[in-house]
Structure 1
Amino acid sequence: MTKERFNMLVGSIGAFIGVFVFLAYIPQIIANLHGQPSQPWQPLFAAVSCLIWVLYGWTKSPKRDYILIVPNLAGVILGTLTFLTSF
């Protein structure tokens, strides 16, 4: 297995798992919407961190790094939703 192929495999597995990390926010969002608000700061800072990684992956040369973009975009969306519903 070449180094490039290995990096693509490991990166794809990491991106797949990364999406599930942020899907774990869904029960918290549902609880927030049902009147059980939680602390807002961790999801807010996770969303900001993910946004930075999305911007990095989007502007990476010579081509965009979708292995970084996809899971972190999920983090931006779900972290922001969790933050907004936690009040």
Structure 2
Amino acid sequence: MSEKTKQEKKFEFLISNAATITCISMYVAYIPQLIANFSGQPVSPLQPLVAGINASLWVSYGALKKEKDWALIISSTPGVIFALLTAITVYIH
């Protein structure tokens, strides 16, 4: 394996990990909106609903690839959970 290929793989690994952490953080940021929904101050359901659908599509894409894209699956799974839960709880308060 050439040195350039090793460096490229290392860079890809670092970017993948950074993107995974950032993506999970983005979806965990829905927790204050969930709290607002349960406190009787519901947020708009549109953005979390669309984010949940988007995350679902990315999880499906990563899972259906011949070689599963685990970084994509892991980083988008919290989006499916938190975004859809946020959208649903708008109506339960």
TM-score bracket for this pair, using the shorter chain length: over 0.9
In the alignment, which of 66, 74, 77 is matched to residue 70 of structure 1? 74
Displacement after TM superposition at 1:33 (Å)? 0.5
Q: TM-score, normalised by structure 1?
A: 0.94
* C-alpha displacement of 1:4: 1.6
**Structure 1 unmatched runs, 5+:** none
CA offset digits 1:2-35 (Å, max 9, x no partner): 2122111101111011100000000100110111
When Rg is computed on C-alpha atoms for both structures, the one with the higher figure is 2
| Large movers: runs of 4+ above 6 Å | none
Of all paired residues, the percent bearing the same amino acid is 37
Is structure 2 residue 54 aligned with structure 1 residue 49? yes
- Separation of aligned partners in 1, 2:18 and 2:12: 10
TM-score calculated relative to the size of structure 2: 0.88
Distance in 1 (CA, whole Å) between partners of 2:31 and 2:46 is 16
Q: Corresponding residue for 2:87?
A: 83
- Mind listing any 5+ residue stretches in structure 2 that lack a counterpart? 1-5
Query: How many residues were matched structurally?
Result: 86
- C-alpha separation between the residues in 1 aligned to 2:14 and 2:27? 21
